[in-house]
Amino acid sequence: MRTVIIVLILAIVVLIGGIASGFINVSQIRGAKAPQVSATNNGVTAKGGQAPAFDVETGSVKLGTKDATVKVPAVEVQRPAANQAAAAINNAQ
């Protein structure tokens, strides 16, 4: 249950971020209309009504590759000489 809540929260945050950054554009193109509801002895009836309509435009992400030359630093490890190791041990004592 906790995982579902976390996923829903992340989805809402992503949606808000997309709208705020302009990556997602939502426009209402048709308004909502409430149905006419009447109650009689036979029950409740509803007529008409209309759900709202939205136009959603999303941005696009293009992925690709390109060749590049990257300088990588060289790492060189040198072991101390035998006499240096002995001197370091003697100094520690």
Residue 1 belongs to a domain = yes
Kindly report the pTM of this predicted structure: 0.43
Quick one: pLDDT at residue 83? 61
Give per-residue pLDDT as tens, 76-85: 888 766 666 5
Quick one: pLDDT at residue 61? 83
Quick one: pLDDT at residue 90? 63
Question: Which residue segment(s) compose the domain that 17 sits in?
Answer: 1-30+51-56
Residue ranges of the chain whose pLDDT lies below 50 = none
Q: Rg of the chain over CA atoms, in angstroms?
A: 34
Residue 9 belongs to a domain = yes
Residue 83 belongs to a domain = no
Quick one: pLDDT at residue 8? 95
Ramachandran angles phi, psi of 83, nearest 5°: -70, -30
Residue 79 belongs to a domain = no
Q: How far apart are CA 29 and CA 25, in angstroms?
A: 12
Q: How far is CA 58 from the centre of its chain?
A: 14
Task: Categorise residue 14: left if φ over 0, alpha if ψ from -120 to 50, beta otherwise.
Answer: alpha
